[in-house]
Amino acid sequence: MKELHFAVFGTGFWSHFQIPAWFEVGGVKITALYNRTVSKAERVALEFSLNDAHVYADPEELLRHEKLDFIDIITEIDAHAPLVYLAAKHKIPVICQKPMAPDLATAESMVKSCREAGVPFFIHENFRWQTPIRAVKQVLAEGQIEKPFRAHISFVTAFPVFKNQPFLKTLEHLIITDLGSHMLDIARFLFGEATRLYCQMNRVHNDIRGEDAATIMLEVGDQTTVVINMAYAESPLEHDYFPQTTIFIEGDNGSIELAPDYWLRVTTREGTCARRVAPPRYAWADPDYDVVHSSIVPCNADLLKQLKGEGRAETTAEDNLKTVRLVFAAYDSASTGKSISFTR
When pLDDT is averaged across residues 287-316 and rounded to a whole number, the result is: 96
Distance CA 217, CA 343 (A): 17
Q: Would you place residue 7 in the very low, low, confident or very high pLDDT band (cuts 50, 70, 90)? A: very high
Say if residues 294 and 287 touch (Cβ distance below 8 Å).
Answer: no
- Omega within 30 of 0 (cis) for the link into 99: yes
Choices 3.40.190.10, 3.40.50.720, 3.40.640.10, 3.40.50.300: CATH for 4-124:
3.40.50.720
**Planar angle of CA 330, 77, 116, nearest 5 degrees:** 90
Residues 6+ apart with CB under 8 A from 303: 95, 122, 124, 313, 315
Q: Would you place residue 291 in the very low, low, confident or very high pLDDT band (cuts 50, 70, 90)? A: very high
Compute the mean pLDDT over every residue in the chain, rounded to the nearest whole number. Answer: 95
Q: Is the pLDDT of residue 238 over 60?
A: no
pLDDT in tens, 76-124: 999 999 999 999 999 999 999 999 999 999 999 999 999 999 999 999 9
Tell me the three-class secondary structure of 208-276, residue by residue: CCCCCEEEEEEEECCCEEEEEEEECCCCCCCCCCCCCCEEEEEECCEEEEEEHHHEEEEEECCEEEEEE
Where in the chain are the domains? 4-124, 128-287+314-341
pLDDT in tens, 168-180: 899 889 999 999 9
DSSP letter assigned to residue 127:
G
When pLDDT is averaged across residues 226-249 and rounded to a whole number, the result is: 87
Q: Would you place residue 237 in the very low, low, confident or very high pLDDT band (cuts 50, 70, 90)? A: low
Q: What is the H or E stretch that residue 105 is in?
A: helix 104-117
- Omega within 30 of 0 (cis) for the link into 243: yes
Q: Is the pLDDT of residue 221 over 80?
A: no
Q: What is the pLDDT of residue 344?
A: 66
When pLDDT is averaged across residues 226-252 and rounded to a whole number, the result is: 88
When pLDDT is averaged across residues 326-334 and rounded to a whole number, the result is: 97
Q: What are phi and psi for residue 38, nearest 5 degrees? A: -60, -35
Say if residues 86 and 63 touch (Cβ distance below 8 Å).
Answer: yes
Say if residues 45 and 16 touch (Cβ distance below 8 Å).
Answer: no
* First and final C-alpha spacing in the chain: 41
pTM of the complete model: 0.95
**Of 304, 307, 305, 282, nearest to 293 (Cα)?**
282
CATH architecture assigned to 128-287+314-341: 2-Layer Sandwich (3.30)
